[in-house]
Structure 1
Amino acid sequence: MSRVLGLVGSGAGGVEDLLPRVTQPLQADGWTVAVTLTPTAGRWLDENGGRAEIKEAIGTLDLPVVVFPRVNAAHARHPSWETHIDALRRAGVRLVYGDDVWPLHEPRSAPGRYLPWSAVLSVVNAAVPPPG
């Protein structure tokens, strides 16, 4: 049985890398990958009920959820940011987050930065080991 990944890509940048750096490597390892691309994930989720689906995924027993919050230092300074991160961790969400994988920079101060796709893939593969 194939491992399945539901992947949501937003307009936050990096979508152009999803095929070569995420989807194709996972497919080469036997994954089935279902990709949803949105210009702005927040608006799309509001309009299409996706937030409820994500909340359901987080609350579903034995369903691993991996999140890479592509944020900058300004986002992380928001007063509720750490509360949100802590809530995701308590819910068992595997976060690809921290200075070791995505050091935070001020807005627009790190152009051309590569996203930590290898770290994302490592967490996804660890969350759903190969069948056997």
Structure 2
Amino acid sequence: MTRTLYLFCSAAPPVFDVAPVIEDAQARGWDVCLGLTPTAAKWLATGLDGLAALTGRPVRSEYRMPGQPDVWPKADAILFAPMTFNSANEWALGLTSKWAVGVVAEGIGKGIPIVAMPCVNAAYARHSALDRSVETLRALGVTVLYGEGGFVPNQPGQGRPAEYPWGLALDAVDRSARPPVDRPPT
């Protein structure tokens, strides 16, 4: 029985540690498909082939052209982490010019369990748009791990990417996901 996890990442420092997160998710029984925002894809450009080899699927960051087949299986769950200030606000407002944001916006309507964990510094966190966006996403059924029990912002310039709570995010995905289903091999 295979469960498919779409792991989407924005351009925030924890994205550089995504390979061990993929391995952790795979050890938990997930078939992982990695999607990145365009800037995150640029940040990881030199490692994209290795990440594709690790997942066994192409890493995606852009919409496919009309008529092109979808090369990923359907998602049983989605994790959007790290999710930047920009991605959180775009998603909450329904602005889907970025492929990853479009998929999670549509995922809400499809009833796919979605977990999101921001990665913002305290200066961004003081902006009222972030609280509104988190509230909107939660009201739409997204599990947003932000604040106590999730990601807690640090001061600007004092990032601690090694302390980003990836394990909490994967635990939340495991709790929220549907039971595994039998699927034919792809």
Normalising to structure 2: TM-score of the pair? 0.60
SS at match of 2:163: coil
Across the two proteins, how many residue pairs are aligned to each other?
A: 128
Query: Within 5 Å, which residues of 2 pair with 1:1-132?
Result: 1-20=1-20, 22-40=21-39, 48-61=98-111, 63-111=112-160, 113-128=162-177, 130-131=179-180
Q: Which moved more, 1:90-99 or 1:47-56?
A: 47-56
SS at match of 2:33: strand
Contact 2:114 2:142 in 1 (8 A): yes
Amino acid at match of 1:18: V
Q: Distance in 2 between matches of 1:30 and 1:50?
A: 23
Q: Distance in 1 between matches of 2:106 and 2:97?
A: 17
Structure 2 unaligned regions, length at least 5: 41-60, 63-95, 182-186
Q: Distance in 2 between matches of 1:109 and 1:30?
A: 34
Give the deviation of 1:77 after TM superposition.
1.2
Structure 1 residues 50 and 27: alpha-carbon distance in aligned structure 2, compared to 1, 3 A threshold? closer
Q: Distance in 2 between matches of 1:64 and 1:2?
A: 16
Structure 1 residues 47 and 90: alpha-carbon distance in aligned structure 2, compared to 1, 3 A threshold? closer
Give the deviation of 1:113 after TM superposition.
4.6
Contact 1:5 1:32 in 2 (8 A): yes
Normalising to structure 1: TM-score of the pair? 0.81
Deviations 1:16-73, CA, capped at 9 Å, x for gaps = 22111x21111122210000234525xx676554433221112222x10110111111
Structure 1 residues 11 and 50: alpha-carbon distance in aligned structure 2, compared to 1, 3 A threshold? closer
Compute the RMSD of aligned alpha carbons.
2.3
